[in-house]
Amino acid sequence: MSMWTTVLIASLSTFALKVLGYFLPESLVTNQTSKRIIAVLPIGLLSGLIAVQLFTTKTTFAFDGRIVGAISAIALLLFRAPFIIVISLSALITALGRYFDFWL
């Protein structure tokens, strides 16, 4: 299966789920349990995406500059640095580490 086939299948299934949402009864979407699940679902999905992109290469686990860049970004965010500074310094730290072969 090619990458474009996968992208098209994912896009069509996402569209179908969105359309299906219009046909669900309102009581199914407005109860407290559904509201809690709907509120935290994007957080879980985004966390999973970040973890996969951060810790893997194609098919294997990897420890490289991406992890160090993410750790530096988290540290800068904890110190409430402006977002542009967080992105710039994290990219710089990752690039310098790769240039000087500090990690794989």
The model's pLDDT over 31-62, given as tens digits with 9 standing for 90+, comes to 899 889 888 988 988 888 888 888 888 788 87
pLDDT at residue 2, as a whole number: 76
Band of residue 103 on the pLDDT scale cut at 50, 70, 90: low
Residue whose token pair is 């988290």: 74
Band of residue 104 on the pLDDT scale cut at 50, 70, 90: low
pLDDT at residue 90, as a whole number: 94
- Taking alpha carbons only, the member of 53, 65, 54, 62 closest to residue 97 is 65
Task: Output b/e per residue, 39-48; b: 16+ Cβ within 10 A.
Answer: eeeeeeeeee
Both tokens of 54, joined, read 């951060």
Q: Average pLDDT, stretch 89-101?
A: 88
pTM, two decimal places: 0.59
Give domain limits for the chain: 63-104
Residues 53, 51, 83, 65: is their CA dihedral positive or negative?
Answer: negative
Q: Are 54 and 70 in contact (CB under 8 A)?
A: yes
Band of residue 81 on the pLDDT scale cut at 50, 70, 90: very high
